[in-house]
Copies of this chain bind each other. A is one copy, B any other.
Amino acid sequence: MSDKPTTIKEIAKLLDISVSTVSRALNDHSSIGLITKMRVKKMAKELNYEPNQRAIQFLQGKSHTIGVILPELAESFFSAAISGIEDIAYKRNYTVLLAQSHDDADREKLLIEKMKMQRVDGLLISVSKTTNTYEHLEAFKKSNIPIVFFDRIPPVKNIHFVASNLESGTYEAVNFLLKKGHRTIGMINGPTNLVASTERKNGYIKAMTSHRLKFDPSLMLNCDLTEAGTIESMDNFLNHKRKPTAIVTFNDYVALFAIRYARSLNIQINKDIDFVSYANLPLINYMDYTPIASVEQFPYKQGKKAADILLDLINKPKGDSEAETAYYNVVVESELIIGKEK
């Protein structure tokens, strides 16, 4: 008896009325008599009736589901983001279909196909690092399923996206250091091919020039973000003719490598050299030697925003030619968080 779920048909048969009446009764349709409604609802409760969403979704051609493809769920940036995405989806009564690409372009391509076959109502994606062709994304757009890009934005025209602006965060960070009196500020930046590196660089330069200081390229090093690379950069700075009194690092890992190495050389952290980093990891707030400030990217907030946009796109009245040609390009400003000094 607890085998197959109850259907509307069974209720109809038991009450000797038609399925359409049952359906309307359950949906409180105005054309159904009060007595019938009561009878139907009572029977439905007795049989533990639960509408088969798959059937409804199929019938209506809407899955009420959004697909989410992220590179790596275990990465704290993305796990915070998916948390925000799920919260919005839940609130707006949508369901989340989740998958990870592991930064593998082929797997990503497959997942996108799969999402299309699953008939998701919309797609939210942070593209993999290795993705370098974009036809499948273009093809997806033709399917008329809205797609919102998130954090990692492909170089494609006419797309919706949400990303953080690291330029402003970096600007603030460097500005903060300048106000503290620093004049020689080093930056351990990422590889030149990352957009993120360029944004940081621009923020740095902007802050310097706004203080009428000229940009010294030898104080901005491109690092491969490994521990060895970080140590190399640090050595470079420490032997520099203009030894930096403050250093901005690409991310928390680099900051940790740099700080650890500096401490091994008996350099006083945030005394001999001030450190500023980007807040990628939650634990940094708990550690002994941390940067004096960090740039927060609000992944949770970004996730929420991206999901909200996607759901707006899904539910926008169509034929709205104005909205049809407009693209959401939302930039979530990053923000400098100044840690409590210890």
Residues of chain A whose beta carbon lies under 8 Å from any beta carbon of chain B: 2-3, 5, 48, 50-55, 57-58, 63, 65, 72-76, 78-80, 82-83, 86-87, 90, 95-100, 107, 113-114, 116-119, 139, 142-144, 252-253, 256-257, 259-260, 263, 281-284, 286-289, 300
Contact = CB atoms under 8 A, between A and B. Distances in A.
A118 B95 contact: yes
Contacts of A53: 117-119
From A72, A79, A90, residue with most partner B Cβ within 10 Å: A79
8 contacts: A3-B144, A48-B139, A73-B82, A76-B76, A76-B79, A95-B114, A97-B98, A283-B283
A116 B51 CA distance: 9
Interface of A, secondary structure class, is helix
Contacts of A96: 97-99
In the complex, the count of this chain's copies comes to 2
Contact of A54 (B58, B142, B263, B286): B58
Given A57-B54, A116-B50, A74 B63 contact: no
Contacts of A52: 58, 117, 119
Nearest to A257: B286
A100 B117 contact: no
A107 B90 CA distance: 10
A139 B281 CA distance: 40
A144 B2 contact: yes
Contact of A74 (B80, B252, B263): B80
Nearest to A79: B79
Contacts of A2: 142-144
A285 to B, nearest CB: 10
